[in-house]
Chains A and B, each alone.
Chain A
């Protein structure tokens, strides 16, 4: 009952949000829209603008009509203090100056040189991430309640439980238990959160017109850093002893091996996680945008070429979308499983009942 009312509330808020956007679009007429249509089509800028973060949700521009949702800008500078205002203050092209701040290359800087600005704006990535996570948290709490009530424990699971249960069981059996031995239960909340955090953001990022959250380096960087913290927190003295003084290795080799191992733990492992996720998530979007851009590139050559190429382009885009869905699951899984493996390596061999892979099959 509660879930239902929350859902309708969300729908209502979102509708109001959208309506206000359209009014916004009508209210603010700008002459710059005209000039842009005459510019030569530049795929690089278009693509990069789409995959990058932004201060507003910009859907499309038809003539003077800008369908976009302005988002709150939150800035802090030691000199000026905290300032919060709507991103629409900068105008649609970011050409205006407000409270001594201006937009420069899709970034907010102070007009005065030498004023340091810390930008904590609710960019479209942030807003979308929070929205998606709110929905996901509500869904998961609802499911959690059902398990608490005993549905799925003493009776068969129903509805959405059936959708998520295989995934949770898969993470538990194929990721946690295999790599973490008997300590699997302690890491389950982290691993599950990590997996679904990546998955829901990647999947929602595929909806046309929304931000590409999972394909942002800041997003993957934080996941990598958190993974590193968890990995380091679960290491044992045994692990560090082996790292700094590998047994059975000649002294001179140790001199080479130890720095390499250290770099592996602190830089290479998390770095690989960060770059892999980032590259995979952004690549799909770039490919899709490139195929769309191809239509316009052909269109610039001749209108006929543009129209005749569009079916092929759409075909490739559909194909790429399917791959993207697959990649979202695969990358979420890979990130999670690699994190679990690295955590497992941290306490491997410290006590002997923890050999990975020796878990008792529950059933």
Chain B
């Protein structure tokens, strides 16, 4: 049958055509296309990977930031607390010191007062004694005639004596 009888010319031409096509396309088309596609896919894969990595890094950074923030907040709170404690302590100490100072001043003052009181008493005693001695001396020097005159005299003397 003619249909199933391959003819020589077509066989030869098809072979030549196929081999030339294979050679030309292999060199100028398939190679750049396949390698280009490969490169592009690699590129896309790399880009996606890089994006994923950046995303992860961002997430890590964010959580780190939050941690830092939380720490800072804690620190601030602690500092405030410490400052308050210090303040209270200082106030308490100042109050204590003031009280002690006051006590000391008061006790000093009392001591001075006592001392002066004692000095005054001693002086008074000395004065009274001197006075008694003077009066007695006067009395003794004057010879008293009568009892009434004596009494008069004493009375005079006593009125003269003024306590201080």
Contacts and interface: CB of A to CB of B under 8 A. Distances in A.
Nearest to A219: B14
A153 B45 CA distance: 13
Most chain A CB inside 10 Å of its own CB: which residue of B12, B32, B33, B41? B33
Interface of A: 48, 51-53, 74, 105-107, 118-123, 125-126, 129-130, 133, 136-137, 140-141, 143-145, 147-148, 152-154, 165, 168-169, 172, 185, 188-190, 192-193, 196-197, 216-219, 221-223, 226, 282, 362-363
Contact of B26 (A126, A193, A218): A193
A153 B40 contact: yes
Given A120-B8, A125-B10, A226 B45 contact: no
B3 A219 contact: no
Interface residues of B, number: 40
A226 B9 CA distance: 17
Contact of B5 (A130, A153, A169, A217): A217
B137 interface: no
Given A119-B7, A143-B29, A190 B22 contact: yes
B9 A119 contact: yes
A168 B37 CA distance: 9
Contact of A219 (B4, B10, B44): B10
Which A-B residue pairs are the 7 nearest by beta carbons? A147-B36, A218-B6, A189-B26, A140-B29, A218-B10, A144-B29, A126-B13
Contacts of A197: 18, 21
Contacts of B12: 120
Given A144-B33, A363-B41, A137 B21 contact: yes
Contacts of A143: 29, 33
Main secondary structure of the interface of B (DSSP, over half): helix
Contacts of A133: 17, 20-21
Interface of B: 2-15, 17-18, 20-22, 24-26, 28-45
A51 to B, nearest CB: 7
B7 A189 contact: no
A65 B113 CA distance: 159
Nearest to A118: B8
Main secondary structure of the interface of A (DSSP, over half): helix
Contacts of B33: 140, 143-144, 147, 168
A95 to B, nearest CB: 19
Given A48-B3, A147-B36, A282-B3, A221 B11 contact: yes
Nearest to A125: B10
A282 B2 CA distance: 13
B43 A222 contact: no
B70 to A, nearest CB: 40
A219 B32 CA distance: 28
Contacts of A121: 9
7 contacts: A52-B3, A53-B7, A172-B34, A216-B6, A217-B6, A218-B10, A226-B15
Given A129-B17, A153-B39, A190-B22, A144 B31 contact: yes
